[in-house]
Amino acid sequence: MLQIDREKLLKELRKLNPKKVGLQFPEGLKSQALEIADLLDYEVYIYGGNTYGACDVADEELRFCDCLVHFGHAEIPLKFAIPVLFVEVFDDIDLVPSLKKNLDYLEKKGKKIGLATTVQHIPQLKNAESFLRSSGFNVYIGEGTERIKYEGQVLGCNFSVCTSIEDKVNYFLYVGTGYFHPLGISLNTGKEVFLIDPYAKKIENLEHEKAKLLKKRYALIEKAKSAEKFGLIVSTRKGQFRMKEALCAKKEMEKLGKKAYIFLTREISPEKLRGFDLDAYVICACPRIAIDDQLRYDVPVLTVSEVSLMSRSREYEFDVIGGS
Residues 69-117: pLDDT tens digits?
Answer: 999 999 999 999 999 999 999 999 999 999 999 999 999 999 999 999 9
Which of 168-172, 182-186, 308-312 shows the lowest mean pLDDT across its residues? 308-312
Residues of the chain with CATH 3.40.50.11860: 217-310
* Burial environment of residue 81 by CB neighbours within 10 A (0 to 12, 13 to 18, 19 or more): middle
The helix, strand and coil proportions of the chain, stated in percent and rounded to the nearest 5, come to 40, 20, 40
- When pLDDT is averaged across residues 140-167 and rounded to a whole number, the result is 96
pLDDT tens-digit series, residues 231-274: 999 999 999 999 999 999 999 999 999 999 999 999 999 998 98
What would the CATH number be for the domain defined by 96-205?
A: 3.40.50.11850
209 closest CA partner among 224, 195, 188: 195
Give Cβ neighbours of residue 34 (< 8 Å, ≥ 6 apart). Answer: none
Q: For the residues 282-289, what does the mean pLDDT come to?
A: 95
> Are 55 and 157 contacting, i.e. CB atoms less than 8 angstroms apart?
yes
Q: In which residue ranges of the chain is CATH 3.40.50.11840 found?
A: 2-89
Average pLDDT over residues 292-317: 92
- Do residues 44 and 21 make contact, with C-beta atoms less than 8 angstroms apart? yes
- In eight-state DSSP terms, residue 277 is -
Among residues of the chain, what percentage have pLDDT more than 90?
Answer: 92
For the cut 70, the answer to whether the pLDDT of residue 304 exceeds it is yes
* pLDDT higher than threshold 80 for residue 46: yes
Picking from 119, 117, 142, the residue whose alpha carbon sits closest to that of residue 128 is: 117
CATH topology classification for 2-89: Rossmann fold (3.40.50)
Q: How far apart are alpha carbons 232 and 230 in whole angstroms?
A: 6
Q: Evaluate whether 22 touches 62 at the Cβ level (below 8 Å).
A: yes
Mean pLDDT taken over the chain:
95
Q: Is 1 a residue whose pLDDT tops 90?
A: no
Please, where in the chain does CATH 3.40.50.11850 lie?
96-205
Using alpha carbons only, give the angle 152, 158, 160 rounded to the nearest 5 degrees: 55
> Which pLDDT band holds residue 312 (cuts at 50, 70, 90)?
confident
User: Rounded to the nearest 5°, which phi and psi values hold at 242?
Assistant: -130, 60
Contact criterion met (CB below 8 Å) for 177 and 185: no
C-alpha span between 109 and 206 (Å, rounded): 13
Which CATH architecture best describes the domain 217-310? 3-Layer(aba) Sandwich (3.40)
Helix (H, G, I), strand (E, B) or coil at 44: strand
Q: How many CB atoms lie within 10 A of CB 247?
A: 15
E strand or H helix at 13, and its extent? helix 6-16
Residue 3: is its pLDDT beyond 90? no
Mean pLDDT of 292-320: 92
What per-residue confidence (pLDDT) applies to 143? 96
